[in-house]
Amino acid sequence: MDERQFVAYLKDKFPFHSGLGIGDDASVVRLGKYFQLISTDILIEDIHFRLQDLSLAELAEKSLAVNISDIAAMGGQAQYFYIGLGFPDGLRPEALRAFFSGLSRAAKKWRVDLAGGDYSRSKKMFIAVTIVGQSKKPVLRSGARPGDWIAITGPTGGSALGLKLLLAGEQNSPFIRLHKRPKPQCEKGLLLARYAHAMIDLSDGLLLDLSRLLQASGVGAEIDYEKLPVPPHFRRLCRQKNYAEKELVLAGGEDYQLLFAISPLQESRLRQTGMIYHVIGKTTKQRRLRVLENGQPLKISHFGFDHFLDQSDKKKK
Ligand SMILES: [Mg+2]
């Protein structure tokens, strides 16, 4: 079962009667004039992080950042969070204090309060954060229409490059910092709530997250590789190290930029706000994803994106 089938299975098994449940960046439940947004994420030692790669304070900050990003992806304002923590016996009490000082600093920075949680001893360290936020008008993944522009708030590939450098034993690089200290796009998310049709945050790679948005909206897209922004010095370093640049940009993950679909009219209004973003392509009626480079389709099959949108339909036939 892949993730998409798993989500479909859960949606079927657990119908949600209070609003919008599984399948977006956060659940959405109306509470008076506002909508309450809730999202949860787990980080597990040796699967999502290695303890030798980042300090416990950085880990605490990251675990909060990735959750706040999901609220930003709904165009919402994060308010408070719960934390479930598993800590190995071998870690000293100072380690726990270091974790919580990092968490406290991050909570102040993003103006969210700790509302509760649970703690247990555990073989491996794990951190489960549940974040609560609100929005007057949540932006779902499913709102894109054919003919919308597709845009992103900033470059992709930097975090994945940082991870590669980290695994290769490097310690000092702006890319490693990008990887360790992701920055949720809170302000842009709030502003985009007034303009965008559909939105998602980039946690698992541009193509995969874009395909989720397209799928939820029932449209396809064409994006232009040369319009994708990359961080400064990114290309030079990829060439130097012989890393596959396109793979990092298109499938890298953990960039935590926002990807959105917006009508041409709204885009012209958004431009007047001065917010920085990059139009990278357009949605299409035809339900398939194509990446063009100088007008020629790029082979994206080796990233696992063969004909993603039609795939399930084809199998059924
Ligand atoms: Mg997300």
CA angle (72, 73, 78) in 5-degree steps: 30
Residue bearing the bigger pLDDT, 317 or 249? 249
Contact 74, 24 (CB under 8 A): yes
Residue 316 reports pLDDT greater than 70: no
What average pLDDT does this structure show over 55-84? 97
Query: What is the C-alpha separation between 158 and 121, in angstroms, rounded?
Result: 34
Which among 30, 58, 273 has a CA at the least distance from the CA of 183? 58
Query: What is the C-alpha separation between 291 and 276, in angstroms, rounded?
Result: 23
- pLDDT, position 5: 84
Q: How confident is the model at residue 203 (pLDDT cuts 50, 70, 90)?
A: very high
- pLDDT, position 317: 32
What average pLDDT does this structure show over 242-255? 94
What average pLDDT does this structure show over 311-315? 41
- pLDDT, position 91: 81
Helices (H), the chain: 3-13, 56-72, 93-109, 158-167, 174-180, 186-192, 206-217, 234-241, 245-251, 264-271, 308-316
Q: How far apart are the first and last CA of the chain?
A: 19
Contact 263, 279 (CB under 8 A): no
**Per-residue pLDDT reduced to its tens digit, 14-27:** 999 999 999 889 99
217: number of Cβ within 10 Å: 22
CATH topology of domain 3-135: 60s Ribosomal Protein L30; Chain: A; (3.30.1330)
Query: What is the C-alpha separation between 102 and 56, in angstroms, rounded?
Result: 7
Chain Cα centroid distance, residue 272: 26
Q: Over the range 114-131, which residues count as b (16 or more CB within 10 Å of their CB) and which as e?
A: eeeeeeeeeeebbbbbbb
Domain residue extents for the chain: 3-135, 141-316
- Kind of pairing between the strands at 77-87 and 113-121: parallel
Ligand 1 center from residue 94 Cα (angstroms): 32
Residue 309 reports pLDDT greater than 60: no
- pLDDT, position 200: 98
Global confidence as pTM = 0.92
Which among 152, 262, 254 has a CA at the least distance from the CA of 204? 254
Ligand 1 center from residue 202 Cα (angstroms): 7
Q: How confident is the model at residue 313 (pLDDT cuts 50, 70, 90)?
A: very low
For the record, the structure tokens of 61 come out as 């900050």
Q: How confident is the model at residue 303 (pLDDT cuts 50, 70, 90)?
A: low
* Architecture per CATH, 141-316: Alpha-Beta Complex (3.90)
Residue 308 reports pLDDT greater than 90: no
45: number of Cβ within 10 Å: 17
Ligand 1 center from residue 29 Cα (angstroms): 17
**Per-residue pLDDT reduced to its tens digit, 265-301:** 999 999 999 999 999 999 999 999 999 999 899 887 6
Ligand 1 center from residue 250 Cα (angstroms): 16
Q: How confident is the model at residue 310 (pLDDT cuts 50, 70, 90)?
A: very low
Residue 132 reports pLDDT greater than 80: yes
Residue 216 reports pLDDT greater than 90: yes
**Per-residue pLDDT reduced to its tens digit, 141-157:** 999 999 999 999 999 99
Residue 126 reports pLDDT greater than 60: yes
- pLDDT, position 152: 98
Residues of the chain above pLDDT 90, percent: 81
* Mean pLDDT score across all residues of the chain: 92
Ligand 1 center from residue 69 Cα (angstroms): 7
Ligand 1 center from residue 290 Cα (angstroms): 22
Q: In a 10 Å sphere around its CB, with 0-12 CB exposed, 13-18 middle and 19+ buried, how is residue 81 labelled?
A: buried
- pLDDT, position 314: 39
Q: How confident is the model at residue 3 (pLDDT cuts 50, 70, 90)?
A: confident
Which among 232, 229, 219, 194 has a CA at the least distance from the CA of 289? 219
Q: State whether the Cα torsion 264-37-78-184 is positive or negative.
A: negative
Ligand 1 center from residue 14 Cα (angstroms): 20
Residue 311 reports pLDDT greater than 50: no
Ligand 1 center from residue 141 Cα (angstroms): 10
